[in-house]
Amino acid sequence: MTKSALVLFSGGQDSTICLAYALERYARVETLAFDYNQRHKVELDCRLEILKHIPTQNREWGERLGDDHILPLPALAEIGGTSLIGAGEIKMQENGLPSSFVPGRNLLFLTYGAALAYRRGLDVLVGGMCETDYSGYPDCRRTTLDALTNAINLGMESAITIDTPLMQQTKAQSWALANEIGGAALVSLIIEHSHTCYEGERNHRHIWGYGCGTCPACKLRAQGYQEWTAA
């Protein structure tokens, strides 16, 4: 175990699983979040709770967990035009993409992440992108990330890789992976402290965690939890 990783850690279910995954596999792990005036900005507070609690679940995780970083990306909010930034109904658009799609978001996240990883001497970017339950976001597809990896390394004369452990996982399988990595303690941490709801709702606790229960992110999370527990 010699490589080091930078986890794109928003504070959501998927990125929390990715953080635990990275702590199991890499010798040094740092974390990165972005503030782009997202509708569910409460996730930035939730991630701090997770960072506080996750090292206590495994001594080695605590030894491997390094610095946390937050980068502002106000330009995404200025571009606008998406229901994930500001108000607006989350629905399918005429172009076949959901209104929650933020054009260029993951491309920017990974490019900024690669630049930070380069400066910090980190080898791997870990992200929760998934093309099985990817909600129609084209920047979550493996082909997109492979092309971006090539561009990043050509542009920086580097050998950074992008590790996406959830790429082929359904939401039910991602719950199972969390349980496999960290057992009941990690699953409980995800339920109590992670945030995935697009509406930023933290007042209503469901069996699978906090959220409005009706947005696409909540529905996907609830369905996955139900399928996992029923298996």
**The tokens 């992008």 sit on which residue?**
162
Q: Are 172 and 187 in contact, with CB atoms under 8 Å apart?
A: no
pTM of the model: 0.89
Name the class of domain 4-171. Answer: alpha beta
Q: Which of 218, 209, 173 is nearest to 50 (CA)?
A: 209
Residues whose CB falls within 8 Å of the CB of residue 178, separated by 6 or more in sequence, listed in order: 16, 17, 20, 186, 187, 190
User: What are the tens digits of pLDDT across the range 166-221?
Assistant: 999 999 999 999 999 999 999 999 999 999 998 889 999 999 999 999 988 899 99
Distances (CA, A) of 16 to 6, 97, 121, 149, 159: 13, 26, 22, 22, 25
- Distance spanning both ends of the chain, measured CA to CA: 33
pLDDT classification of 75: cutoffs 50, 70, 90: confident
Paired tokens of 104: 């260029």
75 vs 99 pLDDT, higher one: 75
Per the CB < 8 A criterion, the answer to whether 88 and 215 are in contact is no
**Crossing angle (nearest 10°) for helices 105-120 and 142-156:** 40
Place of tokens 């007042």: 203
3-state secondary structure of 26: coil
